[in-house]
Structure 1
């Protein structure tokens, strides 16, 4: 990787000013996502996360769909700011869609009844790990990203457009591209209020 792990963790931020350029090849992007899906941990080794990478016109199509859906529900006098935000996402290089396979979760619930109420939460943990790994790996390669949650508003259109299984539940959308400006300043709450160590 281009930077060491902790530098990438510290630099991983929500970057909203992105161009439709990439610092790495499409093949490298795919390799990062493949490595994340193979090596990210999951409860009971469920491997329930599903990923879709959208590049080029496929990426544009996602944000056209999202724009169309939101235009139908956001009041016209409030849509301009929404449109500007969506244009920013569309102007990026690509998007990774994060899903959970509900059939895997339901199968675990049936097999391990004692924990059945916990599996949906654990699946979200698994998905979040995938999001963090991919986001940080893209940062290490010089790309910026931001995480969006237009689900469930766009779920059915997304599944229909890319012919995805009905049992895939959309969790998040990671927009990425070459940064054109740095992330804003970040304030940190005191660590001693958030961490306890007992020896």
Structure 2
């Protein structure tokens, strides 16, 4: 299949269900292999991933909900509640982290580039997220990318016993596509691109 056709499949899906087109262990293996193959600066391999299925995923979204309940005014919470429930309705969630120890190690090894390694890490993480999202879409699994960090960072690390050096960067709820996905719209090319020959 043409790479552009594969990329076109990746869209935000909020209507998620628990029925996956393949076994959980196959989804797990797919995610792991995609992250392995994603590029990283200086081959740092700084991305870290936690894959949550079923009740573990629901536990994450309960953490998010209760964290937000403490800061969102009660009169405005209904829409937040519904949104979080839509993520919990999926089959699982992928938590994307960047290991700050890996970043610091590169800063020590290559002091000339030290100030750039945090940015390089973010770029590596973004590529891993995009690659996983695209790979899931290609096998018929819907997903979206969420960012409730840093609000939930401490509780997530405590709940799953994660190293302090892992910095949470994104959450990707995934599952069956329970509704059609809207077509993507694009801004005018003249705004976005410039070509010089």
Which residue matches 1:195?
193
- d(CA) in 2 for partners of 1:4, 1:166: 41
How many residue pairs get aligned? The number is 197
Report the 3-state secondary structure (helix = DSSP H, G, I; strand = E; otherwise coil) of the residue aligned with 1:117: helix
- Give the alignment of 1:144-155 within 5 angstroms: 144-155=142-153
Quote the offset at 1:109 in angstroms: 1.1
Q: State the Cα distance separating 1:47 from its structure 2 match.
A: 0.5
How far has the Cα of 1:196 moved from its partner? 2.8
SS at match of 1:100: strand
Match of 1:165 in 2: 163
Aligned: 1:13 with 2:24: no
Matched residue, 2:105 = 107
C-alpha contact (below 8 Å) 2:35/2:131 kept by paired residues: no
Q: Which moved more, 1:51-60 or 1:32-41?
A: 32-41
CA contact (8 A) 2:35 2:132 kept: no
Q: For residues 42 and 64 of structure 1, do their structure 2 counterparts lie closer, same or farther at Cα, with a shift above 3 Å needed?
A: same
- Residue 4 to residue 31, structure 1, CA distance change in 2 (3 Å): farther
Once the two structures are TM-superposed, the CA of residue 38 in structure 1 deviates from its matched residue by: 1.5
Shift of 1:4: 5.0
- C-alpha distance in 2 between matches for 1:150 and 1:193: 30
- TM-score normalised to structure 1 length: 0.95
| CA shift for structure 1 position 24 | 1.4
Mapping for residues 19-98 of structure 1, pairs under 5 Å: 19-98=17-96
Does the aligned pair in 2 maintain the 1:4–1:140 contact within 8 Å? no
Q: Per-residue CA shift, 1:58-114, capped at 9, x if unaligned? A: 011000111111111111111111000000000111100000000110111122111
Deviation at 1:197, TM superposition (A): 3.0
- Show CA shifts across 1:33-76 (max 9, x none): 11122111100111000000000110110001111111111111
TM-score by length of 2: 0.96
> Whole-Å Cα distance in 1 between the matches of residues 2 and 93 of structure 2?
24
Supply the distance in 2 between the matched residues of 1:153 and 1:12 (Cα, whole angstroms): 27
Measure the CA separation in 2 of the matches of 1:70 and 1:193.
36
